[in-house]
Amino acid sequence: MNTVWVLGDQLNRHLGALADADPTTDRVLIIESTAKVTSKRWHVQRAHFVIASMRRFADELSAAGFEVDHRRSRSLADGFREHVDEFEPDEVIATEPASWDGLELFRDLGVTTVRSNQFLCHYQDFADWADGRNRLRMEDFYRWQRKRLGYLMDQDGEPVGGRWNFDDENREPPPGDESDPWAAPQTSRLDELDREVLADLDDVAFDNGGELWGTAPDGTWATTRRAALSRLRHFVDEVLPRFGPHEDAMVRRSWHLAHSTLSPYMNIGLLLPGEVCDAVQDAYDDGRVPLNSAEGFIRQVIGWREYVWGVYWLWMPEYRSANVLGADRALPPVFSGAASTEMNCVDHCLSTLHSKAYNHHIQRLMVLGNLAMLHGVDPWAMTTWMWSTFIDGAEWVMLPNVIGMSQWADGGRMATKPYAAGGNYIDTMSDYCGDCRFDRTQRVGDDACPFTTLYWDFLDRHHDRLVSNPRIARQVRAAEQLSDLDAVRSRAAVVRDRLDVGDL
């Protein structure tokens, strides 16, 4: 018999090696690795989400007639060797991994890989698309994907509605009133298996010097394909019609707004991106959602998500160590929860992370990522922290988003200019600033908003690198001409010191 080895982010019967597997000729191997559980300070919801999903998937495969060797081992490599010793398979086959470590592991162990269909554009096809282009613009890739895949396209090959992009309708600040028009996410009831997983995680972490943090799971995150499909239907029916206009807004009264919260399921295989986009296309065809919502969402999935996967494979493994701004500070203690903060925006994002292991895109980019970049945090430290903290983390998605987009450590391969912003941006897009102890309009003095101070200081510190960038040169010139630039520099030094000791 052959063995089909399924990794924890490949939990789908229709994926690669498993799609062709047959219970009469193939046995399935699933390994829970202690080394993985203790490799980072995981958010408990993230660790639970992956392990509970793996166990339920193993049960589903058993119910479908497969013999499943679901084992717990010290490491993935150990688990593989133990399996081979015990079962002596003719061949071990796996679906290509989504991230680099998996590729190296499979290579080292001599595992045969089958082309991955976990994304709509395989990274080799992305590399062909990228070949010979000076700039890898996401917008160009997205249009190529739209044409190739046929989403929201007319019969004559033009985009439905005559436009490729409704972004300008999707940048609205939060609604001014206190209403909460966003449907609550579905939840699932925790069961005995969930409790077992949590107890096992505690034991593994305790016995091996690991640590978990965050609020225990509350049923927000589904751990079966069936429940994930139900989340998808709920999103399309109840949430998608509002997706778009307030995509970039941040409000304290809702942790999710009209975001789909579907990324974790796509990232571990419980949902496939094609079926997600098909459901959105169907809803548009039936007149159930407006075009700006359907387009805005499909752009995120066939555009951004696939683009990120493509550039990750194109630029690895060197990409891991990119750090053009020479940022080398440690992550401030407020990120790990070792200190509290009076910055309303940071406090809100971190407390949501604590309770849900989730922040939406703008909170990741313009609050937490922005603060780390302005402060000068080592990009790899930031990557590792986000990876271990978010429910949907994985190396392939973290690196371009953190190293490239949020920390600008790649010098502009992902983003043409750093996503740096002071308190004014946060105030426009959120309800955080009104009653904040800091004043977003001040850049010096005890009450100055740390974002505003660090923003001007960032432009000053990186003057020589950024002044020739037409997309940010105007702001760099403005910083150069500040009458109180020396005071900004002094205040920034104080802010950084206080961030380092968790006193801000």
Residues of the shown chain interacting with ligand FAD in the complex, contacts defined by CB under 6 A? 259-263, 266-267, 297, 300-301, 304-305, 308, 360-361, 364-365, 369, 386, 390, 392-393, 397-398, 401-402, 405-406
Q: Which is nearer to ligand FAD, 341 or 352 (CB)?
A: 352
Return the amino acid letter for 486. Answer: D
Whichever of 57 and 255 has its CB closer to ligand FAD, that residue is: 255
Please, what is the minimum distance in Å from the beta carbon of residue 134 to ligand FAD? Answer: 22
Tokens of 472: 């940010």
Contacts of 96 (CB under 8 A, 6+ apart): 16, 103, 113, 114, 115, 116
Q: How far is the CB of 304 from ligand FAD (least distance, A)?
A: 4
What is the C-alpha separation between 492 and 169, in angstroms, rounded? Answer: 36
* Residue 255: CB minimum distance to ligand FAD, A: 10
Helix-, strand-, coil-residue percentages of the chain, each rounded to 5: 50, 5, 40
**Continuous segment of H or E residues that includes residue 35:** helix 34-37
- Is residue 500 within 8 A of residue 471, CB to CB? The reply is no
CB of 166 to ligand FAD, least distance (A): 15
Which CB, 261 or 341, lies closer to ligand FAD? 261
The DSSP element (H or E) to which 130 belongs, if any, is helix 123-130
Residue (of 350, 404, 347, 344) closest to 373 by Cα position: 404
Residue 175 CA: distances (Å) to CA of 247, 348, 368, 429: 12, 18, 23, 10
What minimum distance in Å lies between the beta carbon of 308 and ligand FAD? 4
Distance in Å, CB of 35 to ligand FAD, minimum: 21
User: To the nearest whole angstrom, how small is the minimum distance from the Cβ of residue 174 to ligand FAD?
Assistant: 15
- Cα 175 versus chain centre, distance: 26
Specify the DSSP class assigned to residue 71.
E
Q: Cβ 393 to ligand FAD, closest distance in Å?
A: 4
Least separation in angstroms between residue 472's CB and ligand FAD is: 18
* CB neighbour list of residue 251: distance below 8 Å, 6 or more residues apart: 174, 257, 430, 431
Nearer to ligand FAD, 5 or 297 (CB): 297
The pair of structure tokens assigned to 37 is 């559980």
Nearer to ligand FAD, 80 or 297 (CB): 297
Shortest Å distance, C-beta 286 to ligand FAD: 20
Nearer to ligand FAD, 33 or 293 (CB): 293
Of 3 and 10, nearer to ligand FAD (C-beta) is 10
CA distance 455 to 478: 12
Closest CB to ligand FAD among 138 and 485?
Answer: 138
Closest CA relative to residue 362, chosen from 240, 239, 252, 250? 250
Task: Name the H helices within 114-191.
Answer: 123-130, 138-149
CB of 442 to ligand FAD, least distance (A): 27
DSSP alpha helix (H) spans, 182-254:
192-207, 225-234
Per-residue DSSP letter, 115: -
Residue 131, Cβ neighbours under 10 Å: how many? 8
Classify residue 309 by burial, with Cβ atoms within 10 Å: 0-12, 13-18, 19+: buried
Least Cβ distance, residue 396 to ligand FAD (angstroms): 9
CA distance 424 to 430: 10
Task: Give Rg (Cα) of the chain.
Answer: 23
CB within 8 Å of 10: residues ≥ 6 apart: 16, 18, 94, 95, 97, 98, 118, 268, 269
Give least dist CB 110 to ligand FAD, A.
30
Nearer to ligand FAD, 58 or 228 (CB): 228
Q: Are 65 and 23 in contact (CB under 8 A)?
A: yes
Q: Which is nearer to ligand FAD, 212 or 415 (CB)?
A: 415
User: Quick one: 143 or 361, whose CB is closer to ligand FAD?
Assistant: 361
Cβ closest to ligand FAD, residue 146 vs residue 360: 360
- Cα distances (angstroms) measured from residue 376 to each of 280, 329, 419: 40, 6, 13
Residue closer to ligand FAD by CB (options 89, 400) is: 400
